[in-house]
């Protein structure tokens, strides 16, 4: 029963059925996040590792990040421009080939048929072996954009694989080998990021406009930056402990 592990937050033993079949190294992946920095938090180490092995990574950022500040004097238009530059730098730190933006208004994303259709179009266009995104089933997920993105991605995966959905897109159907969902309550797939944790941190720190809101002021002083890196390190080590890896990112794996 080598593949039987006890999930650290659960009293249920799982066979880790999907993890028992290792995920082949993808040639192309599409990572979809609601906001600039979500992809890096959820899967930055995994993407950096896959890039180092020859994978082509496309990042798709759904909203414009225009509400990501606690500064009462900030101009949302300036913030959007800053965050596009930060996202570009973060993508370079991971080695991603491309960043795409849907420019929806931050905090106001709604799950509509148009959004599902757009996810379908992106998947058919990029033709990824693996799609990564937010887990829409995560309990008590507070942020509406994370929930809406996760649902639209999952339903977009279903639409993308069958030709009778949205035929007006004039793109061949596409079925990814796997969908990996970060922030899962019940992860069953782990990726080793032991050697690529520094790239994940470097990418996250590119989002300096988010230092105060999500990184404990990491952009302000060396001490705060070190504290942030320590927190990320503990998190990655905690994820890895479930499967005897030094550092990992965990996911719920779905085979479409």
Q: Where along the sequence are the contacts to Zn ion (CB under 5 A)?
A: 34-35, 38
Q: Tell me the C-alpha distance between 7 and 54, whole Å.
A: 31
Residues 112, 116, 119, 121: what is their CA dihedral angle, to the nearest 10 degrees?
Answer: -110
Shortest distance in whole angstroms from residue 214 CB to Zn ion: 8
Count the Cβ atoms, other than its own, within 10 Å of residue 85.
Answer: 12
Please give the span between the terminal C-alpha atoms of the chain, in angstroms, as a whole number: 26
Q: Closest by alpha carbon to 44, among 176, 221, 239? A: 239
Shortest distance in whole angstroms from residue 108 CB to Zn ion: 13
Find out whether 60 and 100 touch, Cβ atoms under 8 Å.
Answer: yes
Token digits of residue 46:
């995994």
Q: Is the Cβ of residue 103 or residue 169 nearer to Zn ion in the bound state? A: 103
Token digits of residue 39:
């992809």
Shortest distance in whole angstroms from residue 35 CB to Zn ion: 4
DSSP class of 132: E
Closest residue to Zn ion using C-beta atoms: 35
Shortest distance in whole angstroms from residue 143 CB to Zn ion: 6
DSSP class of 66: T
Shortest distance in whole angstroms from residue 136 CB to Zn ion: 13
Q: Is the Cβ of residue 55 or residue 201 nearer to Zn ion in the bound state? A: 201
Q: Is the Cβ of residue 35 or residue 49 nearer to Zn ion in the bound state? A: 35
Find out whether 43 and 60 touch, Cβ atoms under 8 Å.
Answer: no
**23: part of which helix (H) or strand (E)?**
none
Q: Is the Cβ of residue 96 or residue 245 nearer to Zn ion in the bound state? A: 96
Shortest distance in whole angstroms from residue 88 CB to Zn ion: 18
- CA 199-201-203 angle, to 5 degrees, is 70
Q: Is the Cβ of residue 23 or residue 203 nearer to Zn ion in the bound state? A: 203
Q: Is the Cβ of residue 38 or residue 64 nearer to Zn ion in the bound state? A: 38
Q: Is the Cβ of residue 34 or residue 119 nearer to Zn ion in the bound state? A: 34
Shortest distance in whole angstroms from residue 94 CB to Zn ion: 17
Find out whether 35 and 214 touch, Cβ atoms under 8 Å.
Answer: no
């Amino acid at each position: 029963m080598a593949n039987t592990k006890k999930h650290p937050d659960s009293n249920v033993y799982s066979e880790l059925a999907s993890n028992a079949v290792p995920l082949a190294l993808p040639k192309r992946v599409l990572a979809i996040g609601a906001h600039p920095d979500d992809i890096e938090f959820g899967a930055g180490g995994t993407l950096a590792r896959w890039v180092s092995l020859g994978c082509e990574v496309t990042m798709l950022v759904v909203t414009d990040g225009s509400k990501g500040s606690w500064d009462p004097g900030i101009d949302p238009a300036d913030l959007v421009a800053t965050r596009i530059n930060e996202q570009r730098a973060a993508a370079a730190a991971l080695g991603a080939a491309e960043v795409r933006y849907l420019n929806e208004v931050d905090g106001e994303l709604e799950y509509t048929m148009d959004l599902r259709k757009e996810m379908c179009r992106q998947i058919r266009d990029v033709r990824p072996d693996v799609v990564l995104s937010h887990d829409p089933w995560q309990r008590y997920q507070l942020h509406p954009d994370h929930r809406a993105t996760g649902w639209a991605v999952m339903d977009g995966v279903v639409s993308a694989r069958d030709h009778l959905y949205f035929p007006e897109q004039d793109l061949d159907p596409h079925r990814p080998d796997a969908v990996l969902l970060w922030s899962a309550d019940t992860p069953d797939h782990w990726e080793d990021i032991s050697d690529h944790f520094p790239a994940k941190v470097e990418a996250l720190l590119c989002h300096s406009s988010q230092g105060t809101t999500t990184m404990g002021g990491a952009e302000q002083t060396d001490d705060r930056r070190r504290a942030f890196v320590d927190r990320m390190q503990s998190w990655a080590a905690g994820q890895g402990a479930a499967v005897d890896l030094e550092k990992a990112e965990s996911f719920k794996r779905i085979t479409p």
